Amino acid sequence: MNAQEIIGLNTKWYRYQNNISQEQFAVKTGLKLSYVSRIECGRINLTCNTIDLIVKTFKIKYENLFNEKTALKAKKLPPKINLYTR
């Protein structure tokens, strides 16, 4: 895995841990939904400002966003949270 994939998967992991959808995360951060989706798929070369935003939104340490073990767990998560079935 490269850094983009690790950050993307960890973003997904912490979004799931906070029980929020991609749409809710986009609103909370001010990012576009399509951008959030591309982050989680590891297709975006993030700026330091965006990394800061993700870390602050989830109230995590920077090293958590780069944790490969957590990223591997995130690979097993389904693509989206369906909030309407809860």
Structure tokens at 15: 């979004």
Whether residue 84 is contained in a domain is answered as no
**How confident is the model at residue 85, as a pLDDT?**
42
- Collect the ranges in the chain with pLDDT lower than 70: 79-86
Report the alpha-carbon distance of residue 35 to residue 67 in Å, rounded: 21
CATH of residue 59: 1.10.260.40
Tally of CB atoms within 10 A around 60: 17
Q: How many domains does the chain have?
A: 1
Residue 46 resides in a domain: yes
| pLDDT for 67 | 96
Write out the residue range of the structural domain in which residue 34 sits. Answer: 3-78
What pLDDT shows up at residue 81?
Answer: 56
pLDDT at 77: 85
